[in-house]
Structure 1
Amino acid sequence: MDNIGRRQCIPIIYTRGTHYEVGFDVGRNFAAIIKEFLETSRPLNDEYIPLYETKEGRKVYDETLECVKKNFPQYIRELEGTAEGAQVPFYKLFLLHMDDITTRTVQNRSGNIHPSGCSTICVNQPGEEILGHTEDALAEVLNHFYFVSAHIISDKPEGRWKVKEEKFTSLCYAGHLPGYTMNYNHHGLVFSINTLSAHRLNSGKTPRHFITRALLSAENFLQAQQILRDDGCGAGDGCSINMTFLKQEGDRLFHNAEMGPALPDTNQSQLNILTASPGENIFHCNKYLRLTIKEAEGMIIESSDARMETFNKCCKPTTKQDVVKMLSDHTNYIHPVFRDCGPNDFVKTIAVGIFDCIKRTWSIYADNPQNTEPLVVLPIILKDN
């Protein structure tokens, strides 16, 4: 498709059913967006599929798929539903969820040529409890995303965490499971994700996309930690999770969890959690700040360092408007916080989200929030009990 520019449009689907039925409805309703994204995704077409067609790449794919089928069969059915609803090959969607696991394990590549990532600010101040997030991705993701608001009820507990009911709203990249961007569930968990890029990734482990999909079922902080540790298997790659629980008793607490790939000969993700109590804030981008993990070299680290430097130069944020201003920042032209400097930029900020934990709202901007009004303000609807 010709360059249509940044659209002020984020479609949403409300769906209820089994995992397969919800996935099918997503695929059927967003088939055009999903097909177009699969055609234009450079990592998928230039790297993942060519490697999948080799003996070594297919081995990595098969052992990772077997792992996820064993531990999270319901999410495989959900993804199969999306593939069948959109009438696209399942293997292409699963390769997207494996991300750089295939290239890193087959080629042992030390660099990272996909410097996508995100910036997150958590403000925990009197009268202001805000989680703000820029959703940054490769340029072809622009206009190829949507909201999924789903209610899933299973006949019996499913997967390794024995989940029977899930209800959530998530911003999703085309063809991707919910959970890897900005999200909330009906238990009051609000969270956003920052991609982290460890040098060593693992096949035959749980890809981060499936761990964050499972996180949508968490009822409390203890369950969230259990899901992230993935004890008995462990993560194949890593990410940072910024979260809070709206129904938690006592003071507001924000958490940043750095999750790293399971170490060799272990079956548990590496995990380090920082908590912000009242009066404290959290900044996080796309670099490990606490876990000692060798990272992939390249632009993702340079960009993350630059954005963190921009945040640290700002006055301490205490209000929602402070967060909006910081997430709109263009002062570093090479590595701005809001990334949309030119038509040839290969990474763009596709959306900005502001969760207001006191008002229980989620504001989404489809353009720089300093210059526009939110495209939509969604209420955060929680379970009654």
Structure 2
Amino acid sequence: MDSFQDLIATNSSEKTANGDKHFMSHMPTSLAAIHVVGTFYQVGYEVGKKFRNEIEQFYKGTSLFDDLLPFYQTSNGRQIYEEYLDITKDLYPQYVREMEGIADGSGRPFHEVFLIHIEPEISTMLRTGQGIQSTSAQCTTVMLNYIDNDGRQQTVLAHNEDAIVAMPKTIPYMVHTRITTDAESPSIAEEWSAYCYPGHIAGNCFSLNIHGLATTTNRLFPNNVQRGKIPYYIAARALLSCDSIDAAEEMIRTDMHRVALGMSVSLAFSAVADSEQIVANIEIAPTDTNAPYGGKNYHVKRIPVASRKEEGFYFHCNRYDRIPDVAEGEEVSSDHRKRRIEALPVPSSVDDVLAIIGDTAGDERFPVYRSGKEPDYLFTAATGVFDMMASTFSIYTNNPANGPGPVMKIPMAKRTVKKIL
């Protein structure tokens, strides 16, 4: 298996005496990354091995030990765990192999790794019954697809990744990978770059694949969590494999009627002409039937290039906006962020989008760019910005509106997509 040297975007990391990288804990200007080629298992193993310490540190800050493992140790909890594992093995066995690789590489039991990947479902069950707060991330996504009177086009997808305050801002990492189907006679199954939480498979945050498909995901909080259906993290990982927005919609239509929980997926696609650019947002709701919410459990909003900026602008937080009659849990920050963005001027440029995604002025208690200060309980760990006209995928670990700039910038070629590795 080929393994590539780690990439550190800037020189602010230091070396300890034993050669390990040590990162500044508060205002990071670096981002760890790994370049790796191999099978699903091999890629998971290399990531788990490389980021073993980060995984241990991250898992300690989650609900794994206080909620998930005690739940797993009950007969009902173990049955629910097995139901989620069974459907994942049935539909997406390759991602089970990837998680097995993470477990083996990091030296953790597989059941801990898989429990982390069904945390949204379990925490919703516990929250609904006992008032326990989920420790999953919540996010803000802003999209613009606009051409002005002078013919200047702005097509951008920007996403704030908000994380639990117990997580040091320095321990997420980028994974750049080419996944092959077989070690003996390999053909490329997937290739992508993704921002990842330690010990998680990719797809949950912001990602770019070899086909030119940019994806971001937002947690939604419906009360109607379903047993034995596709977990949120697995659904997000599967969508990362799609080769177009159309393919993502088709996967949702054919497979995602069996999702266990809710999600919002935002998409942009670089491999088209400028005039054909589309950004899209797809809401997905769980259901115990095949025809809920007036006929289906998802809603696709496509935004083609618009000559009026109001028509080319859209954003999403952690509430359902377009699927009616979904009973949801309380999400105060999302309500505040939505009201604040609605009060801001409609953007007409990339800088305007960054001003929105980095806004802290309008609502000090629950800002768009989050600080983790009470009464809020999450902070913005990173921002991913896909600028389709500049053909760049930029990652910021400080405020994109007024910080020092991106710590990593990945080129995206139009129409003919370059290899990521």
TM norm structure 1:
0.90
Are 1:94 and 2:108 an aligned pair? no
Letter aligned with residue 33 of structure 2: I
Structure 1 residue 232: deviation in Å? 8.2
Question: Which of residues 283, 304, 310 in structure 2 aligns to 1:277?
Answer: 304
**Structure 2 contact 220–262 (Cα < 8 Å) conserved:** yes
- 1:183 and 2:207 equivalent? yes
1:338 matched residue in structure 2:
369
- Is it true that 1:325 corresponds to 2:355 in the alignment? yes
Matches within 5 A, 1:69-80: 69-80=89-100
The whole-number CA distance in structure 1 between the counterparts of 2:350 and 2:38 is 36
Which sits farther off after the overlay, 367-376 or 70-79? 367-376
- State the Cα deviation string for residues 316-355 of structure 1 (Å, max 9, x = none): 1011110111111112011100111648953110011211
Q: Which residue of structure 2 aligns with residue 55 of structure 1?
A: 75
C-alpha separation between the residues in 1 aligned to 2:268 and 2:216?
Answer: 10
Q: What does residue 328 of structure 2 align with? A: 296
Higher alpha-carbon Rg: 2
Change (3 A) 1:112 1:359: farther
Cα distance in structure 2, aligned partners of 1:171 and 1:5:
19
Partner of 2:282: 257
Amino acid of the residue matched to residue 131 of structure 1? L
SS in 2 for 1:131: strand
Aligned to 2:41: 20
Offset of 1:164 from its aligned partner? 5.9
Structure 2 residue matching 1:167: 3-state secondary structure: strand
- Distance, in Å, in 2 between the alignment partners of 1:293 and 1:359 is 40
SS at 1:100 equivalent: helix
Does 1:218 pair with 2:242? yes
Distance 1:363 1:328, change over 3 A: same
* Equivalence for 1:144: 171
Mapping for residues 156-235 of structure 1, pairs under 5 Å: 165-231=189-255, 234-235=258-259
Q: Which stretch shifts more, 335-344 or 86-95?
A: 335-344
* Corresponding position of 2:335: 305
For 2:198 and 2:296, how far apart are their aligned partners in 1? 27
Cα deviation 1:174-220 (Å, max 9, x = unaligned)? 10000010011111101111110111101211112111111111112
1:121-179 CA deviation, whole Å, 9 max, x = no partner? 111112211111110011123323110111012149xxxxxx96101001001100000
1:259/1:269 contact within 8 Å kept: no
Structure 1 residue 68 displacement after superposition:
0.3
Counterpart contact for 1:255–1:274, Cα < 8 Å: yes
2:85 is matched with: 65
Note the aligned Cα RMSD (angstroms).
Answer: 2.6
Whichever residue aligns with residue 378 of structure 2, its letter is V
Unaligned runs of 5+ in 1: 157-162
- Gapped regions of structure 2 (runs ≥ 5): 1-21, 148-152, 307-311
User: Deviation of residue 105 (structure 1)?
Assistant: 3.9
CA pair 174-274 structure 1, distance change in 2 beyond 3 A: same
Distance of 1:320 and 1:91 partners within structure 2 = 43
Of 133, 138, 141, the residue aligned with 2:159 is 133
Partner residue in 2 for 1:160? none
**Aligned pairs, number:** 375
Aligned to 1:159: none
